Chains A and B, each alone.
Chain A
Amino acid sequence: GEKVEQHESTLSVREGDSAVINCTYTDTASSYFPWYKQEAGKSLHFVIDIRSNVDRKQSQRLTVLLDKKAKRFSLHITATQPEDSAIYFCAASIGSFNKLTFGAGTRLAVCP
């Protein structure tokens, strides 16, 4: 089955700098790649996603890049703020019935 690897387990950046979180997947049939955010002690909520018919998607300070050849996708956060501090999970789905496979998570700390 699909395996999603999240390369950075922790990431620390200075407020205002950019942060990049990288994920790779194994199944070439995967076509949907969402990102979820989990703040300390809270549940997960959706932040942004990308589908395999595009290679870039931007929403305000968030950009997702998809490299299908390398089976790699990444989340870029610009102008980081303390409220961006959280665990970020990447996930992949083959598309049928939205069965997601998650990465292990990246703990992002934005330091003042």
Chain B
Amino acid sequence: EAAVTQSPRNKVTVTGGNVTLSCRQTNSHNYMYWYRQDTGHGLRLIHYSYGAGNLQIGDVPDGYKATRTTQEDFFLLLELASPSQTSLYFCASSDRQKDTQYFGPGTRLLVL
């Protein structure tokens, strides 16, 4: 079973604050994804990456930056957090040869 970890698991910040969410996968997967989960919307793709140094824009990218520093590590950055970014964030990874995505445990972010 693929292993994807996320940190922190919970985060509280204030409007205008700076937040970095971290994701690490240890399965040598090429693809990594950041999603947000909100009731009534399911999961929406924020950013994704094909490999170290690569970044692709997802469906709801506004207010988010991302960086893939290594094969294993993918970060999501909120530089000026807003209450609308309060959500549950999931990271996922998948192999180039197979389509199944493996999800991390999630980070619950509250922006006051």
Are B105 and A102 closer than 8 Å at their CB atoms?
no
Q: By the criterion CB–CB under 8 Å, are A104 and B101 in contact?
A: no
Given contacts A1-B59, A97-B31, A98-B94, contact A45 B45 (CB under 8 A): no
Does B14 sit within 8 A of A, measured CB to CB? no
Which residue among A89, A98, A101, A103 has the maximum number of chain B CB atoms within 10 Å of its CB? A98
Say whether, besides A34-B99, A49-B100, A98-B101, A43 and B90 are in contact (CB < 8 Å).
yes
Q: Does A99 sit within 8 A of B, measured CB to CB?
A: yes
Count residues of chain B with CB under 8 A from any CB of chain A. 24
Interface string of A95-112 (1 = CB under 8 A from B): 001111111110000000
Query: Number of residues in A with C-beta < 8 Å to the partner?
Result: 23
- From known contacts A89-B42, A98-B31, infer whether A45 and B103 are also in contact, taking CB-CB under 8 Å: yes
Contact at A93–B90, with CB atoms within 8 Å? no
Task: Encode B9-21 as 1/0 by CB contact (under 8 A) with A.
Answer: 0000000000000
Whether A29 is near chain B, meaning CB under 8 Å from some CB there, is no
Contact call A6/B48, Cβ cutoff below 8 A: no
Asked if B103 and A104 make an inter-chain contact with CB atoms under 8 angstroms apart, the answer reads: no
**Contact of B101 with A100 in the complex, beta carbons under 8 Å:** yes
Interface residues in B41-91 (C-beta closer than 8 Å to A): 41-45, 48, 50, 56, 58-59, 90
14 contacts between A and B (CB under 8 A): A32-B99, A34-B100, A34-B101, A45-B102, A46-B102, A89-B42, A97-B31, A98-B94, A98-B99, A99-B48, A100-B45, A102-B35, A102-B43, A104-B41
